[in-house]
Amino acid sequence: AQSVTQLDSQVPVFEEAPVELRCNYSSSVSVYLFWYVQYPNQGLQLLLKYLSGSTLVESINGFEAEFNKSQTSFHLRKPSVHISDTAEYFCAVSVNRSGFNKFYFGSGTKLNVKP
Amino acid sequence: GAGVSQSPSNKVTEKGKDVELRCDPISGHTALYWYRQSLGQGLEFLIYFQGNSAPDKSGLPSDRFSAERTGGSVSTLTIQRTQQEDSAVYLCASSLAGFRGNEKLFFGSGTQLSVL
């Protein structure tokens, strides 16, 4: 069975501080990994994804995530956060089942950046 | 349209009534997903459409829930005899083809359903 665990439901952090949002998954088959972000009053949108190749992937707004196969993790990091990063972040895995993708999402982590 | 459109954005109903939630995916997207987001929970998979057919309905919580998709485009999620535990945000997402694991999902803004 597949599952995605985000241990931290809320992460408060001060502006310009580093942050790590944790994500662990369980799967018996190969997966693709994603982080989606939901800004206040907006729909979910893709932040970054790992498909293959380099285990470190980056987004255009300074976030990065590293795929660690041995630890089945895909933690999201940013060295210096901004107020505008305040949002809810969802980790997801995609598994190909019977010819289509089934996406499993974590419970989300609310990042609250304080001035 | 430019994105995935869901209507209504908010729906308040009385326990026992039926509701219909609509999703209009991005034009040309053959895959369509319904998810439910309850307070403090992750996104719960409900159903997946490839074109007009639904190869995976395993996430529908009970037989009160049903969904259809017509013309490979608009989808309707129907909840019959609503219960208070049905209160949640219902999200629709679409993707281009659905059978490639690397596809990006495009989400609508959701329908907030409140059952009184």
For residues B80, B81, B86, B88, the Cα torsion angle rounded to the nearest 10 degrees is: 60
Q: Which residues contact B27 (CB under 8 A, 6 or more apart)?
A: B1, B73
What percent of chain A is predicted at pLDDT more than 70? 96
Q: With an 8 Å Cβ cutoff, are A100 and B31 in contact?
A: yes
Phi, psi of A88 (to 5 degrees): -105, 135
Distance CA B59, CA B94 (A): 17
The reported pLDDT for the residue numbered B97 is 77
For the stretch B57-82, pLDDT in tens is 888 999 999 999 988 899 999 999 99
Give the SS3 label for residue A85.
helix
**CB-count burial class (<10 Å; 0-12, 13-18, 19+) for B72:** middle
Largest CA distance in chain A: 48
| Shortest Cα–Cα distance, A81 to chain B (Å) | 24
Work out how many CB contacts closer than 8 A connect A with B: 71
Q: Is B88 on the interface with A (CB under 8 A)?
A: no
For the stretch B33-51, pLDDT in tens is 999 998 777 789 899 888 8
Taking residues A70-81, what's their average pLDDT? 95
Q: Is B55 on the interface with A (CB under 8 A)?
A: yes
Distance CA B44, CA B56 (A): 13
The reported pLDDT for the residue numbered A89 is 96
Q: With an 8 Å Cβ cutoff, are B56 and A98 in contact?
A: yes
Q: Helix H segments across chain B? A: none
* Tokens found for residue A115: 């001035």
Which chain B residues have a beta carbon less than 8 Å from that of A24? none
Identify the sign of the CA torsion A88, A89, A93, A99.
Answer: positive
